[in-house]
Amino acid sequence: MSGIILVVYILAGVLPALFLMRYIYLKDKIEKEPLPMLMKLCLSGIYAAFLALLLEMLGGELLANMQFSSRTYFVIADAVMIGISEELSKFFFLYRRTWRSPHFNYRYDGVVYAVFVSLGFAAFENVMYLLQYGLSIAVSRGLLAVPAHMAFGVFMGSFYGSAKIYDVYGKEGKAFLYNFFGVFVAAALHAFYDACAMLDNDTAMMLFIGFVIVMYIVVIHKVRHESRTDRPI
């Protein structure tokens, strides 16, 4: 593969994530986050992709030794394992990079941070898929997979921002619960998305299309709400 073609593949994989990062960044109306920090969060998303791959390999070994009554149950278990591995990996690096950062001083910052980690993950994953399967999947992944990762990040980040508020006020128990629910909701949405995409039947496809449309509508409204009601921590 020549250098020019490689650049085309990388741009095709990265541009959808950059577009969505810009959208989330511009919704931060009160105090923009420093760009060096956001770049580090994108790199953290790449690290999270490698950690998730390791966890998925371990989970795959576990699933291979289990007995499933049908392929449907195996696909669901596989999707749940992937959802948990990927969202937990994102949260691990999100927490390490930002929880004690002095820049984390507004609730909406949690959304920004979580989305930038998620989209760093998505951009790297997207480039790998395009290099493996070709540019023919660029449009479908740019419209589905990359925005889905942003959506999971928005839900995780909204809980994360609220958790930070509870932590500042000394309510560590509530902070832990909000972070737990943030990962849980993101992983559950991710698992449902993957399960519908992997099951090769008409019912699953209809569920997938409906789920994606509803999730995107909810996420757009959620981002607007979180931006409009932002408050200092």
Q: Does residue 233 fall inside a structural domain? A: no
pLDDT digits (tens, 9 = 90+) for 93-102: 999 999 999 9
| The predicted structure's pLDDT at residue 68 | 85
| Number of independent structural domains in the chain | 1
Average pLDDT over residues 39-51: 98
Task: Evaluate whether residue 41 is within a structural domain.
Answer: yes
Residue 112 lies in a domain: yes
Q: Is residue 124 part of a domain?
A: yes
pLDDT the model gives residue 228: 97
Mean per-residue pLDDT for 1-29?
93
Q: What is the pLDDT of residue 231?
A: 95
Residue 179 lies in a domain: yes
pLDDT in tens, 74-83: 999 999 999 9
Name the residue range of residue 77's domain.
3-228
In a domain, 142, yes or no: yes
Is residue 168 in some structural domain?
yes
C-beta pairs of 219-228 under 8 Å, 24+ apart in sequence? 219/150, 219/151, 219/154, 219/155, 222/154, 222/155, 222/158, 223/23, 223/24, 223/27, 223/111, 223/154, 224/27, 226/27, 226/107, 226/108, 226/111, 226/154, 226/158, 226/161, 227/27, 227/28, 227/29, 227/108
Backbone angles phi, psi at 189, to 5 degrees: -65, -45
Cα 103–Cα 100–Cα 150 angle in degrees, nearest 5: 70
What pLDDT sits at residue 1? 64
The pLDDT of residue 47 is above 90: yes
How confident is the model over 108-167, as pLDDT tens digits? 999 999 999 999 999 999 999 999 999 999 999 999 999 999 999 999 999 999 999 999
User: In this structure, is residue 220 part of a structural domain?
Assistant: yes
Query: Considering the entire predicted model, what is its pTM?
Result: 0.96
